[in-house]
């Protein structure tokens, strides 16, 4: 009887280890961290949950966006997204072209949304706009 219980415990332990490993492999936070380390683009979002922030990584920089629900002509949709970065030092190498690409990706998923870049990203946009106007 003790041997059978011991075998059952071993099988349960193996199943628990297998499920824990599977959960680790499928973890969205692990995927975004891996994409950040590889300096590739990865977009993490739950479109059905308006309260959950979206996260994405590009060129080794982790961005976070707050979604705000509002009204359109026909329905309630996400109408504002405010993008921030936790570590501004990671922005090194990000250009205005990169920000335009990221904005395109966000707008493709949320067509009614207006993207607002928060400090210090907005300074790059304002600086380039001011430079272009001085040249004219």
Spatial contact of 83 and 98, defined as CB atoms under 8 Å apart? no
Per-residue pLDDT at 134 exceeds 50: no
Least confident piece of the model among 19-23, 30-34, 45-49: 45-49
The span from the CA of 124 to the CA of 132, in Å, is: 12
- Two tokens at 63? 């961005």
CA distances from 73 to 21, 51, 93 (A): 46, 22, 39
Kindly state the tokens that stand for 74: 């026909």
Q: Is the pLDDT of residue 129 over 70?
A: no
C-alpha of 95 from chain center: 18
Q: Across all residues in the chain, what is the average pLDDT?
A: 87
Portion of the chain with pLDDT greater than 90, in percent: 57
Largest alpha-carbon pair distance within the chain? Answer: 89
Report helix, strand or coil for 1: coil
Mean pLDDT to the nearest integer, 55-61: 93
């Amino acid at each position: 009887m003790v041997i059978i219980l011991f075998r059952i415990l071993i099988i349960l332990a193996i199943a628990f280890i297998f499920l824990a490993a599977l959960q680790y492999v499928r973890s969205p936070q692990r995927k975004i961290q891996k994409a950040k380390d590889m300096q590739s683009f990865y977009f993490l979002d739950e479109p059905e949950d308006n309260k959950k922030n979206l996260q994405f990584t590009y060129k080794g920089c982790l961005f976070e966006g707050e979604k705000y629900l509002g009204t359109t002509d026909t329905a309630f949709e996400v109408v504002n997204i405010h993008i921030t970065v936790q570590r501004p030092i990671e922005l090194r190498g990000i250009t205005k072209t990169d920000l335009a690409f990221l904005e395109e990706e966000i707008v493709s998923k949320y067509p009614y949304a207006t993207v607002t870049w928060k400090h210090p990203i907005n300074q790059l946009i304002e600086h380039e706009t001011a430079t272009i106007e001085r040249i004219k």
